[in-house]
Amino acid sequence: MITSTVLRSGPSQLVEYLPEADVDALSETLVAFANSDGGTALLGVDENGRPNGRVFPDEAEVALRAAEARCRPSVQVRWEQVEMTGAAVVAVHVARSTELHSLGDGRVLVRMGAENRPLGGEAIRQLAATKSSGDFEGEAVPGATRADLDEAIIAEFIEKREERQRKRLTAGVDEMLVEIGALDAAGHPTTAGLLLFGRTPQQFIPQSGLVFVKFIGTEPRGEGGLPGYGRREEIGGPLARIIETAWEAVWEEMHVGAVVKGLQREERTEYPPFAVREALVNAVCHRDYRLKGRRIEIRMFADRLEVISPGGLPGFITVDNIVEEHFSRNPRIVSGLFQWAYIEELGLGIDRMIEEMTQAGHPPPHFKATPYSFTVALSNAQVRRATPAWEKVMNERQARALEYIREHGQITNREYQQLCPDVTPETLRLDLSDLVNRGILLRVGAKKGTYYIMK
C-alpha cells in the first residue's frame, strides 16, 4: 500500500525511489530487496518523494522485464500503477526470497538502510547459509487450525496497524492474515501466525517462551553451589504478551535512583528503558525458532542485565557490522511487531540502544555471538568520562556539535547550521564528514532524514 506517509518518509530499508525506469538501478534494487527483507520500488518519484510524471506503465513494464532478465535466479515481483497527487507512480513490490540472488555480472547485493550494497565473499557465504535454512516462519504448523488463533489478539493488532498506517482495514480479517503471512494459502496458521496471534503458541512451539531470572549477586551460583537466584519466571503466550510480561518483570526488579539538575529532581532507572526494551524485542524478533530445547533468557545480575537469544546472528550480520547493517531472520515477525508499534523504526534500534546507554553514563552494550546464541549485556556501572585525545584536535565548531549531541542525543545538518549560522553549509558538511571518517560520529539515515550520533 502506497501512502503519502511513504512518500514523505524517504528511501528506507523497505522503500526505494527511482525517478526513471532505469534498468540498471531497477535490477540492483530487485536483487537487494529479494536478498533482504523485501520492499517496494517506486518508479517516477524524485529524491524528495514527489511524483514527476515521467514514468508510464508500458515503459515501466518493459524496464521491469529487462531488469528481471538480469537477476540470477529470477526475482518474483508484482507491480501496480498508483495515482498520486495527479501523477502516475508505478510501484514494484518485491518479496523476500528464500534463494540467494545475484546480477548477471556476479554481484550479490543486499538492502542496507536506504542503499543497495554489494557483499564480499565471506558475507555472501553467510547469507547463502541462512537462505538454505528455508522459510521456517512461513511454514504451516502441523496440527494447528484457524481456531488456534486468538481473535482478541488479532483485533488488537488490527487496531495498532490502522493507527500506524492511518487507514482502515478494508479487506477481510483472514485475507489480511494471509497477506502478512500468518495464514498460508489454504488457511492454516504458519509459525509466524501462531507466534504473533496464537492462543497457546507454546503448545505447538515449546521453545518460543522466555525465562526471566533475577540473581542475587554477580554469578549464577550462590554460596555452597546453591542456586543464586531470588526470582524465576517462565513466560509464555503470543510474542506481544511475552514482551510486555518480560518488560514488567525487569521493570519491577530495576533500581530507581534520582539526580538533581538545577532545581529539578529527575528519576533515573538502573538501565535506560529503551535499551532494555530494544534488547528484549530484538531477541524475540531475531531468535532462531527452529532451535528446540532453548528459550530466550533474561538474566538480571547485581551488575548487569543479559538477554540471550537462541541462534547465531542471521545472514551477513556480525558483531563488527551490527550497528551499520540490517538483516531479519524472521521478516514476517519483524513486520508484525513493527505494525504493532513494538518496533519504532526498522534498522535503527541498535544505534539508539548504544546512544541511550552512553548518554546515561553507562558503558556501551556488549555483544557476544556464538554459532547457537547471541547475547546482549547491559552494564549498570557508571563511567567517568575523561576527555579523549581526539577532542583536543578538532575545531571549535565540531566541539560545539559534540556538546549538542551529548545534550540532545543527535544532531542534523539543519541543527548544526543553526548552531553556526555564519558558516557555509558546505563547511559544516565537511566538519561532520570529518568526524564520521575519524570514527567519532555515526551517520544514520539518508538525504533529508540524515542525522548523526556518537559512535
* Average pLDDT estimate for 138-159: 96
Instruction: State residue 360 phi and psi, 5-degree precision.
Output: -85, 0
Q: Which domains does the chain have, with CATH numbers?
A: 4-118 (3.30.950.30), 138-206 (no CATH), 208-379 (3.30.565.60), 389-454 (1.10.10.10)
Q: What is the pLDDT of residues 391-412, one digit of tens each?
A: 556 787 888 888 888 888 889 9
CA distance 211 to 308: 10
Average pLDDT, the chain: 87
CA distance 119 to 171: 39
Q: How confident is the model at residue 128 (pLDDT cuts 50, 70, 90)?
A: confident
CA distance 229 to 271: 20
The pLDDT of residue 319: 84
The pLDDT of residue 386: 55
CA distance 79 to 83: 13
Give strand pairing partners of 55. Answer: none
CA distance 148 to 199: 6
Q: How confident is the model at residue 189 (pLDDT cuts 50, 70, 90)?
A: very high
End-to-end CA distance of the chain: give it in Å, rounded: 35
Residue 100, C-alpha cell as written in the block: 540467494
Instruction: Please check whether residue 51 is in contact with residue 87, taking contact to mean a CB–CB distance below 8 angstroms.
Output: yes
Q: What is the pLDDT of residues 296-325, one digit of tens each?
A: 999 999 999 999 999 888 877 888 878 777
* C-alpha to C-alpha distances, 369 to 126, 129, 156, 302, 309, nearest whole angstrom: 14, 16, 35, 23, 10
Give which of 6, 119, 114 is closest to 443, Cα–Cα.
114
Instruction: Please check whether residue 314 is in contact with residue 329, taking contact to mean a CB–CB distance below 8 angstroms.
Output: yes
The pLDDT of residue 141: 96
CA distance 301 to 215: 5
Identify the DSSP state of 382. Answer: P
Give which of 441, 277, 237, 252 is closest to 357, Cα–Cα.
277
Q: What is the pLDDT of residues 58-70, one digit of tens each?
A: 999 999 999 999 9
pLDDT at 263 over 70: no
* C-alpha to C-alpha distances, 132 to 109, 127, 424, nearest whole angstrom: 17, 9, 51
Residue 9 or residue 186, greater confidence: 186
Only one residue has cell 551477513, namely 316
The pLDDT of residue 383: 76
Give which of 41, 5, 34, 63 is closest to 114, Cα–Cα.
41
Q: How confident is the model at residue 217 (pLDDT cuts 50, 70, 90)?
A: confident
CA distance 154 to 375: 31
Residue 32 or residue 424, greater confidence: 32
pLDDT at 218 over 70: yes
Q: How confident is the model at residue 173 (pLDDT cuts 50, 70, 90)?
A: very high
pLDDT at 133 over 60: no
The contacts found for 396-399 with CB under 8 angstroms, 24 or more apart, are 397/423, 397/428, 397/431, 398/431, 398/434, 398/435
The SS3 call for residue 302 is: coil
The pLDDT of residue 423: 82
Cβ neighbours for 16, distance < 8 A, ≥ 6 positions apart:
29, 33, 39, 40, 41, 42, 114, 116
> In degrees, to the nearest 5, what angle opens at C-alpha 368 toward C-alphas 362 and 372?
150
Instruction: State residue 377 phi and psi, 5-degree precision.
Output: -115, 125
CA distance 281 to 285: 6
CA distance 189 to 185: 10
Q: What is the pLDDT of residues 376-389, one digit of tens each?
A: 999 999 876 555 55
Identify the DSSP state of 136. Answer: G
The SS3 call for residue 63 is: helix
Residue 270 or residue 12, greater confidence: 270
SS3 content of the chain, % helix, strand, coil (to 5): 40, 25, 40
Q: What is the pLDDT of residues 417-453, one digit of tens each?
A: 888 887 888 888 888 988 988 888 988 877 777 889 9
H-helix or E-strand spanning residue 121: helix 121-131
Residue 148 CA, chain-centre distance (Å), reads 28
pLDDT at 1 over 60: no
Cβ neighbours for 38, distance < 8 A, ≥ 6 positions apart:
14, 93, 94, 95, 96, 331
The pLDDT of residue 84: 73
Per DSSP (E only), the strands in 119-240 are: 210-215, 229-235
Residue 227 or residue 389, greater confidence: 227
Q: What is the pLDDT of residues 323-356, one digit of tens each?
A: 777 778 888 999 999 999 898 766 667 888 888 8
CA distance 349 to 352: 5
pLDDT at 227 over 90: no
Rg (CA), the chain: 24
